[in-house]
A and B are shown apart, each in its own frame.
Chain A
């Protein structure tokens, strides 16, 4: 019986040393690398290649319909003396700075407000999102009317309240300073929902028992915000504000739809100026140089947030619950 079972055992190939191919076949890192290939290909084709091409173009005198030749940093040297470029750079910084401050304060305020229990909570939260979901160009057209010289609702209100005379008009988008203020206002309006809703999500991760503990510890509403809510929200604020600053700095649609950079180039951002020079003006090399000049600013913003985003000491270790 015992010998039978032994004899019936199927013959087995002798164990051989695993070949390099055998080892590779079971290597998880090798497999993982292949899974990454599609994403890598996408990024290289649609991100790295255009960026590299743009940088190369900024070093040539390329025009539309004519391949350029390498001219080194001549484009940049020229731009350093160009008042419109310097003005656009300055306004881009001011635009980003002012809009971000307002978007952050109002967004945070709204988030705290929306985090309270109130009737029609879901509906109100949905309403807050509207500026975010309306296509930028559509809202820009609406603002175009809001700031129209003749039909502006602001002018109408000011007349109604008697601050302006009956036939006095304000040239909202015609006066350089007012136009700058108007586009910043529109950008703030459009940017608030993103910040408010993201911070609201952050607020909802704060355990309610912390507020109860703070209540028993004797904290007022303001102290609760100052000592509990705000510090716990800082990691999310860092992420949101990085994105907000990047989006604002590279803004194009809103300006282009409202003012096209006018009056007298007062509302040109670097992105719109680059488009105007490069595509409309046909000087691809110069346009590319303006676009490339944005990179150092964006890198600086990312660096700042990268340090801000590092895990704070209290976030290390296990969860608190």
Chain B
């Protein structure tokens, strides 16, 4: 196991810069998830750690060793690919044993390690099958088995769950997390799915257009997003944004209504700002704002309502089962303690 350091790393394909100076510190044994929309450079960064892409500038370190020019096989890492990249002409056992076979490990050692990994992943009955004879989830597990057998310093996962159906994805999410808790191997995991990031990571790195927007623990990102991008990206359903300006100790929306804030930052009165309101920070309140219901989506455990407040669609999530019908008016008010304020120009979080 080892820590991973990424120091001011840049990457250009030809003249097009893709990654503009990224700094990330990954502790030994940590589960770090790189998350961001497609094209943000997260997969490229992962492939640079693996050694499948060159580094244009900066340093990548595994342990205390700068690995910029170390070939992939000497970096002591294992990677799980999005399409699994299982060798179709090898059985499950041969797939998992391949790297050790290349290294010339003794036969019985290979067998012990493969059997052990197969047991961890409950693949034992499938060892003699070929990849084509497996289901998606089983292939996924074989790909992980191939990584485990090598007992590497770092696991790299490149969107490993995106080819699975929704139910299996939830199940594999738990399995991967359990596996990490059991093996405690440093893990770097790339996904575009913020729910995967929130549920699995020790630390999330939010990337956007080749830069790191914010690094932090899942709930830290959720509770104190550093800017509008992170605020909008993390959380489902997404945060509501209302444009307007700070007015004394309250917030005056462009469309004419007033919203409460926990406390105006000093000297901010009159400044334009964006009011961030998570759907679950909205309560039913007989004395609150008028909201005309558009859509009601009952989920069982909660009810999601899209309603029009002052001409803007606001998504609300209520724990109560409300019986409102489209077109009806309900009264709601935000929980001032759970609101966020962002600078109207820079989009950065305004300290309360």
Contact = CB atoms under 8 A, between A and B. Distances in A.
Interface of A: 207, 209-210, 212-219, 223, 227-228, 231-232, 312-321
Interface stretch (B17-25, B82-90, B335-343): B82-90
B81 interface: yes
Contact of B79 (A213, A219, A315, A321): A213
A215 B52 contact: yes
Nearest to A312: B89
A217 B132 CA distance: 21
Contact of B102 (A223, A314, A315, A316): A223
Nearest to B163: A321
Interface of B: 50-52, 72-73, 77-79, 81-90, 98-99, 102-103, 130-133, 139, 146, 150
A286 B190 CA distance: 74
Nearest to A224: B102
Contacts of A320: 83-84, 86, 88, 131-132, 139
A213 B90 CA distance: 14
B207 to A, nearest CB: 21
Contact of B89 (A209, A218, A232): A232
Contacts of B79: 212-213, 216
Given A231-B89, A316-B130, A215 B73 contact: yes
Given A215-B52, A215-B72, A217-B98, A232 B88 contact: yes
B73 A216 contact: yes
Nearest to B152: A216
B105 to A, nearest CB: 11
29 contacts: A207-B83, A209-B83, A210-B87, A213-B79, A213-B87, A214-B98, A215-B73, A216-B73, A216-B78, A217-B73, A217-B98, A218-B99, A218-B103, A219-B73, A219-B102, A227-B87, A228-B87, A231-B89, A312-B89, A313-B130, A316-B130, A316-B133, A317-B130, A317-B132, A318-B132, A319-B132, A320-B86, A320-B88, A320-B132
A271 B133 CA distance: 47
A207 B85 contact: yes
Given A217-B73, A217-B98, A217-B99, A209 B132 contact: no
Most buried by B among A217, A228, A321: A217
A140 to B, nearest CB: 41
Given A209-B85, A210-B85, A314-B88, 18 more contacts: A207-B83, A212-B79, A213-B87, A215-B73, A216-B52, A216-B72, A216-B73, A216-B77, A216-B79, A217-B146, A217-B150, A218-B103, A219-B102, A231-B89, A232-B88, A320-B88, A320-B131, A320-B139
A194 to B, nearest CB: 25
A315 B72 contact: no
A210 B81 CA distance: 9
Contacts of A210: 85, 87
Nearest to A210: B85
The 6 closest A-B pairs by CB, nearest first: A317-B132, A218-B73, A217-B99, A213-B85, A209-B85, A314-B130
Contacts of B150: 217
Contacts of A319: 132
Contacts of B84: 320
Contacts of A207: 83, 85
Contacts of A231: 89
Contact of B81 (A212, A228, A316): A212
A213 B85 CA distance: 6
Contacts of B139: 320
Contacts of B102: 217-219, 223, 227
Contacts of A315: 88, 132
Contacts of B78: 216
A27 to B, nearest CB: 36
Contacts of B90: 314
Contacts of A209: 81-83, 85
Nearest to A213: B85
Nearest to B88: A320
Given A217-B98, A320-B131, A212 B83 contact: no
Nearest to A228: B87
